Every structure is written in structure tokens, then in C-alpha cells.
Structure 1
Amino acid sequence: MKKEKNLNTENQILEAAKNVFQQKGLDGARMQEIADKAGINKAMLHYYYRSKQLLFEAVFDNAFILLAPQLNKILNDDSSIETKIKNFTANYISFVSLHPYLPNFVIQELHKNPDFVEKIKSKSDFPNLAKFKKQVNDEVEQNILKPIDAEQLFINILSLSIFPFIGTHLIKAFIDIDDKGFQKIIEERKTAVAAFIIASIKK
């Protein structure tokens, strides 16, 4: 019973933290606010997580556990590169729309702690590109795709999917849209990114 109660409390903390981080980011979030949202006192919160950084990492790990297997499955199924691009961008953008704090957190961590990427890479479901790269090379040889380096293609897919979440405020300023308009743009990018990339690489 005690273990169950502890697990429930931890889940409450992580859910509360996710909501606060999503609204205010890592820098804007406050431990007291997270404790209040979780329905516990600050001392209890610190008992579970000694710092805001450790709490954020726990929230990130929970999200990564959900995202990584999805992406890995897409990259390693038997579908064509065109289908993979469509599924990857739609899944990735949909997921990050629900966890928009994640890209900036990763960027911040990479600047502060270069070993962070090794920690992510060591996880069992970290996406494996071997099959994707082989398929790209095969489809280039079969004249389905224009000559393109598989790694450059993957960087393009990832960059076009992730940048709007990193540069949200800049994009909103450049194209003069509000939050509602930005959400519309993000929704459209679930298919627009794939369409743009496929048009550029297909024979």
C-alpha cells in the first residue's frame, strides 16, 4: 500500500510538473507552483526530486519513453521512404505539440552538458537509422529518389519538424500571427513538411 501511495504521489508530481513546464518552460517554472498543482507541500516535492533540474529530467524521460519507440518503429518498418517521411513528421510534430517544452530543454542541456546526448543515446529505444539509411541508398539506386545522402535527408526531416517549436516567438513575429494562428500553422506542418521534402527528393 505504501509503495502504491508513493507511486501515485510521484505520478501526480510528474503530471503537475509537465503542465507547469509546458506553460512556463524550465526557467519560468517554480517548485512551489508545481507542489501546489500536485496537491503536496514543497518539502514533499523536494523529498521526491531535490531540484527543478532533476524533476525536469524525469518529465523528459517519461516523454522520451513514449516518443522514441514510435519513431524507431517508423524508421525500421518495411514501408517506403516516402511513407516513412510522412509518418515520422506527423508523429513527431503531433507529439511535440503536446510537449512543446522538450526541444528547448534538449538544446539548453546540450549547451550546459555535452554528455546529455550520450545519456539519451544509451536508452534502449533510441532511434536506429541503419535501415533508413540503407533504404535511402537502395531507392536512389532504383531511381525512385534523386541522389541524396541519407544522413542529410534525416537532418532535413528533423530540422523542419523541430525548428518551429524552438523558434516559436520569432516565427510568430515574422509572419505576424497569434497563438491560435501558430497552432494552425503547426497543424498544417504535420503534412506540409513531408510534402515539401518528398517533392524535393522524388524522381
Structure 2
Amino acid sequence: MTTEEKIFNAARIVFQKKGFAGSRMQEIADEAGINKAMLHYCFKNKQLLFEAVFMNAFSQLAPQINAIFNSEETVFEKITQFTHSYISFVLLNPFLPPFIIQEMNNNPEFVKTFLKNKNTPNPTLLISQIKKEIADGIIKPVDPQQLVLDIFAMTVFPFAAQMMVKGILHITDQEFNEMMEKRKTSIAEQIINSIKK
């Protein structure tokens, strides 16, 4: 394992436990088994490290999402595959959605750069397919962009607002994770049932 891989793995563990604000570079260095000077040599500060960890994690998710969007499957099958893939990924990387929200407010340039990445999920083909399946009488007449937004919103929001969700529902971390596991199928079922003719 390279030093960079050790740092990424350590940073992921620490960020997952403590979030961005609560994490310290010394903790990450200790977790990686390197000294703090080496960590700072590779990454000058925590923000740059977090951005690198984010892009590394995103580079694993984006191809999965694009593969789903661009596949030959039906819209219903794509919805099911998307909710399963996204929720599975975020359960392993729960620090990512709050970080994106934080960066949209505090560091919009990073978000713009991230969105320009060639691997950013592109729903263009999915939107075209939704229009075709509406024309073929498979799906009720709906606004394809609104449908894609609904799919993203229902999967992303609980993670982005995790603290609020747990507080309102009075549930533990474990209960939240169990609820998200169930949402892999329940979200898809709700959306499909609402648009199926």
C-alpha cells in the first residue's frame, strides 16, 4: 500500500467518525502510521486532504451511476439500481453528503470544478429514455427532469440532513442505517408506483 493510499484510508476512517470539523491532521497521521510532517508534505492542510478524499470516493461512485444511466435497462430497473447503488455507497462514506452541502456554501469554486469532471453523472440519456417510455405508454406523463430530481432528492436528502432526521425521528445511528437499508427498495417502489401506468 502506498503512502497516499494509507492516508486516504486513514482520512476516510477519521472523517467518518468525526466529520470534517471534528477531525485533526494529527489523528489522521496517527491512523495512517506516519508522522504529521509527512502528512503535511503530501497534503498541505485538512481542506485539501478532504477534497482529495472526496474526489477519490466520487471517482468510485460516478462510473457506477453513469453505467446505470447509460445501460439498456428499463427506466424502472434503472431507478431500482440507482437507489441501491447510491445508498450502499453513502452508507460506506457517510461524511460525503454533508461535505458537499458545506462546500456549496463555503467553497463554490471546488463544487464548480467537481461538476466539470468528465465522470460527473450525466442523466441526459435517462431523460431521453423517460420521454420515450412516456410516449410508449409505459410511464405516466411526467416532467422527466422533475422525476430525475425526485430520485436524487429522495436518496440524497436523508444523508445530507442526517442529524436532523435522527433528531426528529428519535433514532440512533444504527436505526438510521437500518432505515437507509430499507430505503434502497422502498424509494424505488414509491417512485415506480407513482409513475407506472
TM-score range, shorter chain: over 0.9
Alignment partner, residue 45 of structure 1: 39
Secondary structure of the structure 2 residue equivalent to 1:115:
helix
CA distance in structure 2 between the partners assigned to 1:116 and 1:137 by the alignment = 33
How far is 1:178 from its partner? 1.4
Residues 1:151 and 2:183 aligned together: no
Residues 1:104 and 2:93 aligned together: no
- The one-letter amino acid paired with 2:186 is A
Identity %: 49
How far is 1:164 from its partner? 1.1
Match of 1:118 among 112, 118, 124: 112
Residues 1:168 and 2:168 aligned together: no
Matches within 5 A, 1:28-43: 28-43=22-37
How far is 1:170 from its partner? 1.6
CA distance in structure 1 between the partners assigned to 2:103 and 2:165 by the alignment = 23
How far is 1:89 from its partner? 0.5
Tell me, yes or no, if the aligned pair for 2:83 and 2:188 is still in contact at 8 Å.
yes
Q: Could you tell me the TM-score, scaled by structure 1's length?
A: 0.94
The runs of 5 or more residues in structure 2 that have no matched partner are none
Tell me, yes or no, if the aligned pair for 2:98 and 2:161 is still in contact at 8 Å.
no
How far is 1:116 from its partner? 2.6
Q: Could you tell me the TM-score, scaled by structure 2's length?
A: 0.96
CA distance in structure 1 between the partners assigned to 2:108 and 2:38 by the alignment = 31
Match of 1:190 among 161, 184, 194: 184
Residues 1:84 and 2:78 aligned together: yes
How far is 1:114 from its partner? 2.1
Aligned-residue RMSD, C-alpha: 1.1
CA distance in structure 2 between the partners assigned to 1:70 and 1:17 by the alignment = 23
Tell me, yes or no, if the aligned pair for 2:25 and 2:36 is still in contact at 8 Å.
yes
- The one-letter amino acid paired with 1:107 is I
How far is 1:53 from its partner? 0.3
Alignment partner, residue 56 of structure 1: 50
CA distance in structure 1 between the partners assigned to 2:102 and 2:161 by the alignment = 14
How far is 1:182 from its partner? 1.1
Residues 1:8 and 2:5 aligned together: no
How far is 1:51 from its partner? 0.5
